[in-house]
A and B are shown apart, each in its own frame.
Chain A
């Protein structure tokens, strides 16, 4: 009986490593100034990739912009998505199909398809070439994820707990803080992380409505084919904000408030 948890822990670690280790090659590639076959380890180590990555100076600005836009889009998506997810999760609509399709549409249409259409439309709406426009463009991708993840957390169990809170005379604010939020914490955390991640990764829509404003994926992508070392160097920095988001929200979820 003692060996089982140990075995499970080792198994978990093995699974984690199975997903993490293949990517470690990017960490090596980032510092490999020369790495040609048949060498198993790079012939020359160096920082050329990082020098090229920060050559123009727009990289830092791009990361800043992306963080601001991702936080904005995620917050907005949570605000708009929460009531919708609640209604859908508690199955309060008689015909939810239409709403589902409308909400899921941005996930079903290839992101590559809507780029040019998004540019044209955002010009007409006069919300082009600004951080605000970028937040709204990212919102179209983030909101569906947030709703679909959040709705899984709502249901009869949550409403029963809330009813209990009401009978105990808790004010609406306290009910939210003491009952609702703790019971949906895991899905709320997942929705937040996913929302941040989806916004952070937006390449096509950032290009389409940003008008050349530097954003993190726009800085990274041009290097991916022609210059794998620089791309790998940038990717090491690129994954940090999403991982931080994951850690912060996971911590908040396990000890809500």
Chain B
């Protein structure tokens, strides 16, 4: 709590500081005429954004992320002259559905969704339908700190981002165990199978198409290839919780089963989930994250602006803020959120770089996720989910 209130006071000042630093840096060095045009065009955008109210539709169920937005992002936006409102939804799909309905109604401006934090599949589908504002990301001043040669950043589920969404968060697939109950968790797929032979019923994963369950299946597929992965999942099934006949419907439900001692492992695509669940009292303090296999599936989260959004300039100002070294450093701080930054820290000016190096180690957040397992193409996600339903759930 103290960290939060401290944030409230120091942040606006720091945000202004970093913004001025950035503008100075952008205008000063570098070469080429294209470079010098950027600050000008963003200055215009920042000018147009003054007094706009940006409605950012996002999942509203995580009180730490809510607090980060309310206590860090909203004050920083206010300093930049933009009123930011968080529209909490239970499911990002609700926001996308709203944009689709606006398109269906033939509306091309004045849309109620200014900014969405969305998943790769929805991004890919929306991109195909031309729902998103194009070519604005690279012009944001803070985009200079992002490595756009990094394949995990320039592609979202292997779909080229093409300047239609701005990176703001990193996700990595991790499992959790209670170190008091189980000192050393099985860290390979073979070890997990072996563990379940000795302790049947102590493992489960949410049923795809749930986001987390689908990611677990992809994590296995990325590790061993599709057919071997399905053979593995078939082998796992009878050894799972309730004989693999019933699966939790969501990561939340799995978290509760884990917290109440029904299974030995929890899992999430959010790299910091153990910190969040310990913080809100769901998990015991002895819970520790770990990676299953050689490495974790990783993914970058983005925010996008619908092409019909009413307050596009303001939304770009907010997206730029979200990528600022200051806000990214706050987000990476395990005390606040503990989500890995999307910035290339080498590109951050030395005086701000320290903020990333000084981050406290937390037992609840992994600093090393092993080798990076790339996300599968967005178009392959649904077929995988359908195959899972056919072969694993129904067991045809």
Residue positions of A touching B, CB distance < 8 A:
32-38, 44, 48, 52, 55-58, 115-117, 119-121, 123-124, 128-129, 207-208, 211-212, 218-219, 221-230
Check if B88 is an interface residue, CB within 8 A of chain A.
Answer: yes
* Inter-chain contact B89/A207, CB cutoff 8 Å: yes
* Inter-chain contact A211/B66, CB cutoff 8 Å: no
* Inter-chain contact B97/A227, CB cutoff 8 Å: no
Check if B162 is an interface residue, CB within 8 A of chain A.
Answer: no
What are 26 of the A-B contact pairs (CB < 8 Å)?
A: A32-B281, A36-B260, A36-B261, A37-B260, A37-B261, A38-B261, A119-B102, A119-B105, A120-B104, A123-B101, A124-B106, A128-B112, A207-B98, A211-B98, A212-B113, A218-B88, A218-B89, A222-B59, A222-B90, A224-B61, A225-B61, A225-B90, A225-B252, A226-B61, A226-B252, A228-B256
* Inter-chain contact A212/B62, CB cutoff 8 Å: no
* Inter-chain contact B97/A212, CB cutoff 8 Å: no
* Inter-chain contact A219/B281, CB cutoff 8 Å: no
Q: Whole-angstrom distance from the CB of A6 to the nearest CB of chain B?
A: 42
- Across the A-B interface, the 7 shortest Cβ-Cβ residue pairs: A222-B60, A211-B112, A226-B61, A119-B101, A52-B63, A212-B87, A123-B105
CB-nearest residue of chain A to B249: A225
User: With A48-B281, A119-B105, A212-B57 as given contacts, are A222 and B252 in contact (CB-CB < 8 Å)?
Assistant: no
Query: Which of B57, B67, B88, B262 has the most A CB atoms < 10 Å from its CB?
Result: B88
* Inter-chain contact A223/B60, CB cutoff 8 Å: yes
CA distance A115 to B98 in the complex (A): 9
* Main SS class of interface, B: mixed
* Inter-chain contact B280/A227, CB cutoff 8 Å: yes
* Inter-chain contact A225/B250, CB cutoff 8 Å: yes
Q: Whole-angstrom distance from the CB of B394 to the nearest CB of chain A?
A: 24
Which residues does chain A contribute within 8 Å of B281, judged by CB atoms? 32-35, 44, 48, 229
Interface size class of B (residues with CB under 8 A): 35 or more
Which residues does chain A contribute within 8 Å of B253, judged by CB atoms? 225
* Inter-chain contact A222/B101, CB cutoff 8 Å: no
Inter-chain pairs besides A48-B280, A117-B101, A123-B102, 11 sampled, C-beta below 8 Å: A52-B280, A56-B70, A58-B86, A116-B97, A119-B98, A119-B102, A119-B105, A128-B112, A207-B98, A224-B61, A225-B253
User: With A33-B281, A116-B101, A123-B105 as given contacts, are A55 and B67 in contact (CB-CB < 8 Å)?
Assistant: yes
CB-nearest residue of chain B to A118: B101
CA distance A32 to B97 in the complex (A): 35
CB-nearest residue of chain A to B85: A212
Contact with A along B199-226 (1 / 0, CB 8 A): 0000000000000000000000000000
Residue positions of B touching A, CB distance < 8 A:
55, 57, 59-63, 66-67, 70, 85-90, 94, 97-98, 100-102, 104-107, 112-113, 250, 252-253, 256, 259-262, 280-282, 284
Q: Which of A37, A56, A211, A226 contacts B62 (CB 8 A)?
A: A226
Query: Which of B90, B105, B106, B107 has the most A CB atoms < 10 Å from its CB?
Result: B90
Q: Whole-angstrom distance from the CB of B264 to the nearest CB of chain A?
A: 14
CA distance A32 to B281 in the complex (A): 9
Q: Whole-angstrom distance from the CB of A66 to the nearest CB of chain B?
A: 15
CA distance A32 to B256 in the complex (A): 14
CA distance A221 to B59 in the complex (A): 11
Which residues does chain B contribute within 8 Å of A33, judged by CB atoms? 281
CB-nearest residue of chain A to B98: A119
CB-nearest residue of chain A to B74: A56
CB-nearest residue of chain B to A57: B70
CB-nearest residue of chain A to B107: A123
Which residues does chain B contribute within 8 Å of A129, judged by CB atoms? 112
Which residues does chain A contribute within 8 Å of B252, judged by CB atoms? 225-226
* Inter-chain contact B63/A230, CB cutoff 8 Å: yes
Q: Whole-angstrom distance from the CB of A208 to the nearest CB of chain B?
A: 8
Which residues does chain B contribute within 8 Å of A230, judged by CB atoms? 63
Q: Which of A48, A55, A225 contacts B66 (CB 8 A)?
A: A55
Q: Which of B101, B113, B259 contacts A120 (CB 8 A)?
A: B101
Q: Whole-angstrom distance from the CB of B72 to the nearest CB of chain A?
A: 13
Which residues does chain A contribute within 8 Å of B106, judged by CB atoms? 124
Which residues does chain A contribute within 8 Å of B88, judged by CB atoms? 56, 58, 218-219, 222
